[in-house]
Chain A
Amino acid sequence: MEMVMETMTLSMLHIPLSWVLILYAGAFAVSCTGWRRTLLLLLAFALVSNALIVLYRYSQAWPMLPMHLAPVLTPCLLVSMLLLRSAVYLSAEPLKRRVEQLALLAIIICLAAAQLFPKDFYLPFLRSDSLFAHIMLFAGAAGRVCFIFSLAWSITFFTATVEERSLCMRRVLSWAAWGFVLWTLSMFSGEMWAYLGWGTPVIWHDPAILLMMAVWFIYIALLHLHFSRTWGLRARALFAAAGGCAALVLSLLADFGPFRPLW
């Protein structure tokens, strides 16, 4: 009986990803209007659904790591951040609204890609019973959220007024710096996990570490560019936008499998 109950509870928790995607798309459409309360409600609803998927996958895998969860966990953390800082982001201020819309667009793309390119490769599953594996997942997803905000502010730079541009660049730098710190933590946790499990910090069976390194180098370049101030504001914003787009794609590439259309 207990087993049946547990199975039922878990089945009820299993909300399809496409439902969450529709909710986020709806929230994006509403964000283009002035209906802030509807947006807040929709985002809260989408977040609960998204969090249930994350919880479901975690409950299935625990104490091991649910593999390829990053494209689903990232929107969850990003929307939590939007709602936690709702006074800042879910405001009627045009600049912040644009950032919020771009961030929502990024998570829609992220979830749509997770739907169309699912990956179910579970080779090191038993070996993922490590605290470092879980830190790697969460720090990586949180870092990705910061990169998405940094990217959104850098794109907003081009539509901002001259007075607003320095604020945009401060935000780009601030989010990029936090993202870099979290990404580094994720990378080091991955290396610690690899060392404990395989005896070497770089495992050449899986090239995912190279994608992490590529994102890391892109953000090192971006941060050094900001500190050196050798380029003008516009050029730096362009670099942040291009680098941010590349980093977003690269940071998720390892979690995507072959194309499997829904129809």
Chain B
Amino acid sequence: MNVVNVLRVPTLFWRALASINLTIVLCLLLAADVLWGYACIKWRTALFIPLNDLGIVPWIQTYGLGNLQHTSWFFLLLLLLAVLALNTASCTLERVRHLLAARASLPRLRLVAKLGPHIMHAAVLVILVGYLASYLYTEVVVGTVLLPGRSYTLPDNAGSITFTDFIHQPYQGIRLDVFQGEVIRPQAALVLRADGQTWEATLGYNRPVRLGGYSVHLDNFAPKKPGGMRLNKRIDLHIRKDPGVVLYLAGIAMFCLGIGAYMLDWRIFWEVRK
């Protein structure tokens, strides 16, 4: 009898882990926790800014553990997200198993449509793994400044970037007084070299350049206003090698696919069922 009871423990644990009620409780706890986080970041923004560039482990060692009154919510967030990931994985596996067992009785389109929520769940897991990889393994090159004609070589000789020219696009309209004559769409002409090949690229805000596994982002630039006794031409680069980016972008695409399938189920088959 005792042996039977002992054997039932993993089954009960699995069921509890796959429970939708657990999902609801976790989501409410996560909502409350991120609100707490919102307040903490509002009050102590400077503590969290390094998280953009440092990995999660150095950030915890440098800032996280020393300021627990402001950073505890972050540790709780990690814990809750980990439990949510386990809950989502077990719930999805359980339901997909049942769905696939009944696949013979379902038309193919209906089966795809019914898989929609599970695709969304799997996408959440992919996104979370992507974030984890990103915060654990991202390599950041901070504060790289280039003047015209100067080059920067990426770590491990992954490639080189030469800043050739800054393309001025000053604001010509009359609507924004504060931007009169200022550069509003900065664009830097670059020459990139990697694997023995050379090509030209244009770097701008929201227009990064990819080179040798690194993404190069424009952080700042000068001059803000062309002409006159202004600062020399200069671009500040933010260079990162983020192994998680492919995962979370794939996760976002998967989630959108899942939503599409779910809406198909809801709009077509739900109507029929009704």
Contacts and interface: CB of A to CB of B under 8 A. Distances in A.
Interface residues on B, range: 35 or more
Given A188-B255, A192-B252, A198-B52, A228 B38 contact: no
Contacts of B242: 199-200
B35 A221 contact: no
Interface in B4-55: 20-21, 23-24, 27-28, 30-31, 34-35, 37-38, 41-42, 45, 48-49, 51-52
A210 B131 CA distance: 15
B258 to A, nearest CB: 10
A161 interface: no
Given A10-B175, A201-B248, A228-B21, A217 B28 contact: yes
Given A188-B255, A199-B217, A224 B20 contact: yes
A224 B24 contact: yes
B152 interface: no
B206 A207 contact: no
Contact of B49 (A3, A177, A205): A205
A60 interface: yes
Interface in A13-63: 59-61, 63
B184 A129 contact: yes
Contact of A205 (B45, B255, B263): B45
Given A188-B252, A224-B20, A250-B35, A199 B30 contact: no
B141 to A, nearest CB: 11
Contacts of A227: 20
Contacts of A218: 27-28, 31
Given A6-B174, A225-B24, A210 B52 contact: no
Contacts of B266: 177
Interface string B237-256: 01010100100110010011
B205 A204 contact: no
A77 interface: no
A204 B49 contact: yes
Nearest to B39: A207
- B-side binding surface: helix, strand, loop or mixed? helix
Contacts of A205: 45, 49, 52
Given A130-B206, A200-B240, A227-B20, A221 B245 contact: no
A85 interface: no
A85 B205 CA distance: 40
Given A199-B238, A220-B27, A250-B35, A210 B174 contact: no
B97 interface: no
B185 interface: yes
A61 B37 CA distance: 31
Interface residues of A, number: 50
Nearest to A215: B31
A213 B28 contact: no
A200 B205 contact: no
Contacts of A135: none
Given A199-B215, A205-B45, A205-B49, A210 B35 contact: yes
Contacts of A69: none
Contact of A188 (B48, B131, B185, B256): B256
B110 interface: no
Nearest to A187: B252
A109 interface: no
A60 B175 CA distance: 5
Interface of A: 3, 6-7, 10, 59-61, 63-64, 126-127, 129-130, 132, 177, 181, 184-185, 188, 191-193, 195-205, 207, 210-211, 213-215, 217-218, 220-221, 224-225, 227-228, 230, 246, 250
Q: Which 8 A-B pairs have the closest CB atoms?
A: A207-B41, A221-B27, A228-B20, A217-B31, A130-B206, A204-B48, A210-B34, A217-B27
